[in-house]
Amino acid sequence: MPVTIKDIKTILTQPAGSRLIIVKIITSDDGLYGLGCATFTQRFEAVVTAIEEHLKPFLIGWDVDRIEEIWQMSSVNSYWRNGPVLNNAISGVDQALWDIKGKRAGMPVYQLLGGKCREGADTYAHASGRDKHEVVDSVRRHMESGYRHIRIQMGGYGGQSDTIQKPEGAPDGAYYHPREYVRRMTEMIEHVRTEIGPEVELLHDIHERLRPIDAIQMAKDVEPFKLFFLEDALAPEDIAWFNNIREQCATPLAMGELFNHPLEWRPLIEGRLIDFIRMHVSQMGGITPARNVAAFANMYSVRTAWHGPGDTSPVGHAANLHLDLWAPNFGIQEWCRFNELCYEIFPGLPEVRNGYMYPNEQPGLGIDINEELAAKYPCTNPVIEWTQTRSPDGSPMRP
């Protein structure tokens, strides 16, 4: 008798800043269940509705072993496809099915993918400060903790500016000055490299906040400082401009956290226009498509660097880790350094020691959830402010 999907449960919790969505698939085999990440923190209620009202009634009774078929059919059952809400909902199911598959096999998921290529996944952490001197201090603290790859930001995404002169009657918003940002961040990166030296790998995230021509200029300006990569230099709508960046400098480029559709990442890989794929694994639909993209990217010497901020849930980080351990073209893993409460809610959450993330060798994804404790931290639903970005004259800008 096949083991089937008996029920699908959606668990919401917010133990830190991000609203997390965990999918729990309960099977016909008493006591056997799997967990997956469906976290789209900015529109979490929409994902919950997609799971509870659409995927759940569609999938009850399916054989849990048919992961590929379930992924394919879930993607097209709505006819309209390749959007963040649906992809995240499908991801939660997909990751939970891989978790179940590993538990049934008595193996960690990385074994099902093909086994380890490494014992631990090298990570990078985030260093920041209000000015370039505070950034250096933050970098040194991370180095003392064993990190060899460190992302450096100053004043948050887009930086901070005290010189913006808004027009009269300008609306509220998260204002920043794109060209001033280029000047100040380039100066900061140069300062950190000078103070820290060449041994530590430095990264920086533009967060798609620049017009294409300014992004090209910044990629050229920071080339002498030998970044490990420059992240999200362009918005998904502007990916054709990666040709222009490649023609003018050798700064390594990482891209992809907002990608939903294969036609967003495929031409960048085929054209060798980026060096790292940065997709958010739940945003792209789970382990199944991530495995396929990693294998595809490997043929073009493009490495993985899966998105791993606080709005990738602990379950999502566990999924990232299994992909990291397996992928021959692994590059680096972003790590947000969860608080102790997250480790209590999610027993089995991967640990990082001296910059390396290690699995716990349990079957499946190796992570669980304390639902009673998770329920004590319900999700809030405020209007999001940081994405209400504006240029100095008040015009809307992409965050």
End-to-end CA distance of the chain: 50
Cα atoms found within 13 Å of the Cα of residue 220, Cβ hemisphere only: 12
**Which of 166, 249, 158 lies closest to 209 in space, CA to CA?**
158
Instruction: Point out the catalytic residue in the list 54, 157, 300, 343.
Output: 157
Which segments of 20-108 does DSSP mark as H helices, in order? 44-49, 56-59, 67-76, 84-105
Which residue is associated with the tokens 């009269």? 168
Is 343 assigned a catalytic role? no
Instruction: Point out the catalytic residue in the list 126, 204, 207, 322.
Output: 207
Is 207 assigned a catalytic role? yes
d(CA 192, CA 250): 20
Residue 108's DSSP bridge partners are 364
d(CA 147, CA 51): 38
Q: Is 317 exposed, middle or buried (0-12, 13-18, 19+ CB in 10 A)?
A: buried
Question: Most distant CA pair in the chain: distance in Å?
Answer: 71
Cα separations (Å) of 334 from 64, 122, 204, 307, 390?
30, 9, 12, 6, 27
d(CA 188, CA 153): 9
Read off the tokens for 141: 């603290």
- Which stretch of DSSP H or E encloses residue 241? none
Which residue is associated with the tokens 């887009």? 158
H helices, E strands: number in the chain: 14, 15
Residues with a catalytic annotation lie at 157, 207
